[in-house]
Amino acid sequence: MALSQNFARLTHYSPRGVDPDDPALVLAMPLVLQIEKATPPARADLLAAAAQATALACLDPRSEPGAPWAAEFDAWCAGRIRKIARRARGAQWAAAADLPGVTAQVGQAQARAFVPGPVGTTDRRLTKLQIEGTDVEGELPGTPIVDGRGARLCLWVAPDLPMTVGKLAAQVAHASMLGAVLVPTDQAQRWFDDGCPVQVCQADRRRWAELLEGETRGAAIVVRDAGYTEIAPGSATVIAAPLPAG
C-alpha cells in the first residue's frame, strides 16, 4: 500500500485555500456520530471514534492516487478543510453507513467519516440528519494512558472553551488528520493497521501553554478554528501531540 503518498497529502495541506464563490460548491467532509437516545456513548469514546474515522478515511487505499476517492480528497485538502458533524440513530445510522466512507468504533461509540464533496450535492441520507443539539455528557481524562494498544497521538482539548460534542468532533477530527504527520515513519503502517488509535484528553491551562510552545518546535500541531460556528475565529481548539508507545 502506498500509505506514504496519503501521508504526504496531509503534510502539504495548507489552511490558506480559497472557497468558491458559490456556497453550494464549498467542499466538506460529512461526519456522522451514532448517538442512540436510550444508550448514548461516552463523550471521550465518541470523540476518539470521530478522530480515528477521519484519519482512516484520509489514509485509506481508496484515497491513494488513481484510486476511487483520490480526486475528492485531493480537492478537499487543497482548499479550506471543512467537516460537518451530524448525529444519527437506528435506521438513520444504518442508511448512512451505505454511503462511501470509513467507520471507527471506540468502546461502544461509533462514528463514520464520509468522502468529502460539495455541500450542495451531499446525499439526502446525510443532509436530513440533525446538526443542532449534537451533544453527549461525560468528562474527558486529564492524562493519557499509555497502554500499548497502538495509540500514537494525544488530542488535547483547549481549556475554558466550551463546545458541543458535534463541534468538538469536527475539531478532533481535524487534529487527527493533521497530527498524523507526527507519527514516526517507521510506525505509520502499524498505526494505520491498528485503526489510527488516538486518545482525547482535556488540557488544563498549564498543559495548554506547554503544548502551544511545542508548536514552535514542531512537536505539536494546533487546530485553529475558522469561526463559522460556536467560537470566535482563530480560536485554538485542539492540539495534536505525540504519545509515547507503551
pLDDT in tens, 133-188: 667 888 999 999 876 556 689 999 999 999 999 999 999 999 999 999 898 888 88
Within 8 A by CB and 6+ apart from 189, the residues are 1, 3
Give pLDDT, residue 15. 59
Phi, psi of 158 (to 5 degrees): -65, 140
Contact of 38 with 51, CB cutoff 8 Å: no
Q: Hey, what's the cell of 218?
A: 514542531
6 domain residue, yes or no: no
Contact of 64 with 9, CB cutoff 8 Å: no
Bridge partners (DSSP) of residue 32 are 86, 112
**Residue ranges of the chain with per-residue pLDDT less than 50:** 1
Give pLDDT, residue 230. 78
8 domain residue, yes or no: no
20 domain residue, yes or no: no
Give pLDDT, residue 85. 94
Whole-prediction pTM: 0.93
Residue range(s) defining the domain that contains residue 225: 27-242
Give pLDDT, residue 47. 97
215 domain residue, yes or no: yes
Q: How far is CA 164 from CA 43, 137, 231, in A?
A: 10, 10, 11
Count: domains in the chain: 1
C-alpha angle 24-26-29 in degrees, rounded to nearest 5: 115
Check which CATH number belongs to the domain holding 67 and give it. Answer: 3.40.1490.10
Element (H, E) at 156: strand 153-157
18 domain residue, yes or no: no
d(CA 52, CA 139): 19
Helix axis angle, 43-59 to 165-179, nearest 10°: 40
